[in-house]
Amino acid sequence: MAGDGKDVFFIGYINAVPQPLGRFLAVIGLIVVVVMAGLGLLLSQRTADPGWAVTGYQHIELRGILEARPYPVLRVPDGEGRKPRAYLLAGEGKYGVQSQADGLYGRWVTVAGYLLKRGTLDMLLVDDKEGIVVASASDVLHPAPPQSLGRWRLTGEICDGKCYSGAMSPGNGLAHKACANLCLVGGVPPVFVSTGAVSGSEYFLLTDNKDGVNARRFADFVGQLVSVEGEIERVDNFYIFKSDPETMRAAGP
């Protein structure tokens, strides 16, 4: 770069940046900032909704029947214009709430925690301090039995239900694989995010067709696009995918 007849040259240690070089860098810097901000804005418009919880956790208390499907699920009755809803449960940190739920399955309980929501997926993060408390029974609610939707082959990604429903943003993809596997090993319910919807839902609680909760079976496939066959059941608003691990393979050639 030429200034007033003298070459200007920048080296890291000198204190004063030569004026022509300073102006040049200011213009380039401004362009880079504007272009990057514009690109960021444009790309963010094409990104899938990362869920509710990223904007702040909503603390709620729910009363319903605790069921093992096989992960702990809270089924809340209809009433006051509400339809019956099923909430997946997870704990704080990278843990499930199996130990808290043990012995309470089939009973009425009150659960306080933080609500995460993404599409048809509702997850309640159980508050460590308040936990799951036995509540008085209601003779009004009789939860509907699960409805089988038949056997399907789905293509999609295995995620942990907590991160994907909003605890992290975005909570999926290869970069999130280690985090998802830690969550799954800790007992957080796995969720299959399908590229094609079944009965309007793209999100499924993922179990297998044997012991149901062995997340290690899926560990190698977490965070990448896979196809797998299995039976789908609907429980209130959410869906369970009883997959056959033998049929699981990476999608694509």
Residues of this chain that bind another protein (CB under 8 A) = 12-15, 148-155, 174, 185, 194-199, 224-225, 227, 229, 232, 250-252
Report the nearest approach of another protein to the CB of residue 245 (Å): 16
d(CA 202, CA 133): 32
Kindly tell me the sign of the dihedral angle through the C-alpha atoms of 143, 144, 149, 151.
positive
Q: Whose Cβ is closer to another protein: residue 36's or residue 250's?
A: 250
Q: How far is the CB of 246 from another protein (least distance, A)?
A: 14
Nearer to another protein, 134 or 197 (CB): 197
Whole-angstrom CA distances from 121 to 88, 125, 158, 192 are 8, 13, 14, 11
Residue found under tokens 């196809």:
227
Separation between Cα atoms, residue 55 and residue 80, nearest integer Å: 27
Closest approach, Cβ 249 to another protein, in A, equals: 11
Q: In whole angstroms, how close is the CB of 51 to another protein at the nearest point?
A: 20
Nearer to another protein, 161 or 230 (CB): 230
- 35, 24 contact by CB (below 8 A): no
Nearer to another protein, 5 or 150 (CB): 150
Q: Write down the least CB distance from residue 253 to another protein, Å.
A: 8
Complex with another protein: residue 12 or 56, whichever CB lies closer: 12
Q: Is 128 helix (H, G, I), strand (E, B) or coil?
A: coil
**What SS3 state is found at 172?**
coil
Q: Shortest gap between Cβ of 52 and another protein (angstroms)?
A: 25
Residue 59 vs 151, nearer CB to another protein:
151
DSSP string spanning 54-119? GG--EEEEEEEEEEESSSEEEEEPPBTTBPPEEEEEE-SSS---HHHHTT-TTSEEEEEEEEEEET
